[in-house]
Structure 1
Amino acid sequence: MVDSATGFRRPWHHRRVSTPRTVDRAFETALYDTDDTALDTAASLLAADPAADAELARRGEEFVATAWRRGWQPADLVRIVRRELDEAHVRLVAALIRAQAPGDRPRGPRWAAQLDAVPEQAPARTDRFSHATAVLELYRLLLRLPVLEPLEPGTPRGEARPESRALARIRALLAKAEATGYPQEAEALSAKAQELMARHSVDEALLAAGAPSPDAPGACRIGVEPPYEQAKAVLLDAVADANHCRAVWNEPLGFSTVVGFEGDLEAVELLYTSLLVQAETAMAKAEAAQRAGGRKRTKTFRQSFLAAYAHRAGTRLRAAAEAATAEGGAAAGVDLLPVLASRQVAVTDRLERLFPQTTTTRLRGASDAAGWTEGTRAADDARVERRRPLR
Structure 2
Amino acid sequence: MTSVQARISAVVGGTVDYETGLDALTVAPSTEVNPVLVEMLREACDRLLRGGWQPVELHRVVERRGRPTHGQLVTDAVAAYLRGFSRATVDQRWLAQAETLGAHVWWTADAGYLDEITTRWRSDRVTVLDTVLSLLTVLSEVPPVEILVPPPGSPAVGGRRSGADGSGRIDERLLDRVRALLAKAESSTYPAEAEAYTAKAQELITRHSLDEALLVARDGNRTVVPFARRIGVDHPYEGEKASLLDAVARANRCHTVWSPELGFSTVFGFDADIDAVDLLYTSLLVQAHRAMAQSEPPGGKAGRARLKAFRQSFLVAFAIRIGERLAGAAKAALAEATRSTAEIGSPQPVDLLPVLAARDEQVRETMRQVFPNTVRARGSRVDSREGWESGREAADRATLPGRDPAGS
Please classify the TM superposition score into its range, dividing by the shorter chain length. Answer: 0.7 to 0.9
More moved, 135-144 vs 298-307: 135-144
Residue 25 of structure 1 corresponds to 6
Pairing 1:1-20 to 2, within 5 Å after superposition: none
Given the alignment of the two structures, is residue 269 of structure 1 paired with residue 278 of structure 2, yes or no?
yes
1:342 to 338, 344, 358: 358
Aligned CA RMSD, in angstroms, stands at 2.5
Residue 40 of structure 1 corresponds to 20
3-state SS in 2 of match to 1:222: strand
Structure 2 portions without partners, runs of 5+: 107-116, 151-156, 343-349
Residue 318 of structure 2 corresponds to 309
Given the alignment of the two structures, is residue 373 of structure 1 paired with residue 389 of structure 2, yes or no?
yes
3-state SS in 2 of match to 1:103: coil
Query: Letter of the aligned partner of 1:117 in structure 2?
Result: T
1:175 to 169, 183, 192: 183
Pairing 1:143-154 to 2, within 5 Å after superposition: 143-152=140-149
1:364 to 376, 380, 383: 380
More moved, 240-249 vs 155-164: 155-164
3-state SS in 2 of match to 1:30: helix
1:86 to 67, 74, 77: 67
Q: CA distance change for structure 1 residues 189 and 47 in 2, over 3 Å: closer, same or farther? A: farther
Superposition deviation, residue 225 in structure 1: 0.9
Q: Distance in 2 between matches of 1:160 and 1:55?
A: 41
Residue 242 of structure 2 corresponds to 233
Q: Distance in 1 between matches of 2:167 and 2:90?
A: 11
Tell whether the 8 Å contact from 2:313 to 2:383 is kept in structure 1 after alignment: yes
Given the alignment of the two structures, is residue 204 of structure 1 paired with residue 204 of structure 2, yes or no?
no
Q: CA distance change for structure 1 residues 206 and 258 in 2, over 3 Å: closer, same or farther? A: same
Superposition deviation, residue 203 in structure 1: 0.6
Query: Letter of the aligned partner of 1:178 in structure 2?
Result: E
Q: Distance in 2 between matches of 1:57 and 1:161?
A: 37
Given the alignment of the two structures, is residue 327 of structure 1 paired with residue 310 of structure 2, yes or no?
no
1:50 to 30, 37, 61: 30
Given the alignment of the two structures, is residue 215 of structure 1 paired with residue 224 of structure 2, yes or no?
yes
Tell whether the 8 Å contact from 2:170 to 2:272 is kept in structure 1 after alignment: no
Query: Letter of the aligned partner of 2:365 in structure 1?
Result: D
Q: Distance in 1 between matches of 2:396 and 2:58?
A: 37
Q: CA distance change for structure 1 residues 361 and 317 in 2, over 3 Å: closer, same or farther? A: same
Q: CA distance change for structure 1 residues 173 and 141 in 2, over 3 Å: closer, same or farther? A: same
Superposition deviation, residue 377 in structure 1: 0.7
Aligned residues: 364
Query: Letter of the aligned partner of 1:239 in structure 2?
Result: V
Superposition deviation, residue 93 in structure 1: 1.8
1:62-89: CA deviation from partner (whole Å, max 9, x where unpaired): 2111002222111211111111111122
Superposition deviation, residue 25 in structure 1: 2.9
1:354 to 370, 380, 392: 370
3-state SS in 2 of match to 1:258: strand
1:188 to 178, 196, 204: 196
Superposition deviation, residue 307 in structure 1: 0.9
Q: CA distance change for structure 1 residues 369 and 387 in 2, over 3 Å: closer, same or farther? A: closer
Superposition deviation, residue 47 in structure 1: 5.4
Residue 97 of structure 2 corresponds to 114
Superposition deviation, residue 39 in structure 1: 4.3
Superposition deviation, residue 185 in structure 1: 2.3
Q: Distance in 1 between matches of 2:337 and 2:37?
A: 58
More moved, 63-72 vs 101-110: 101-110
Q: CA distance change for structure 1 residues 383 and 130 in 2, over 3 Å: closer, same or farther? A: closer
Q: Distance in 1 between matches of 2:308 and 2:336?
A: 42
Superposition deviation, residue 95 in structure 1: 2.1
Tell whether the 8 Å contact from 1:240 to 1:268 is kept in structure 2 after alignment: yes
Q: Distance in 2 between matches of 1:155 and 1:341?
A: 22
Q: CA distance change for structure 1 residues 210 and 43 in 2, over 3 Å: closer, same or farther? A: farther
Q: Distance in 2 between matches of 1:225 and 1:311?
A: 19
What's the TM-score once normalised by structure 1's chain length? 0.86
3-state SS in 1 of match to 2:143: coil
Q: Distance in 2 between matches of 1:58 and 1:81?
A: 18
3-state SS in 2 of match to 1:94: helix
1:106-135: CA deviation from partner (whole Å, max 9, x where unpaired): 442221221112266966332222211211
Superposition deviation, residue 155 in structure 1: 7.6
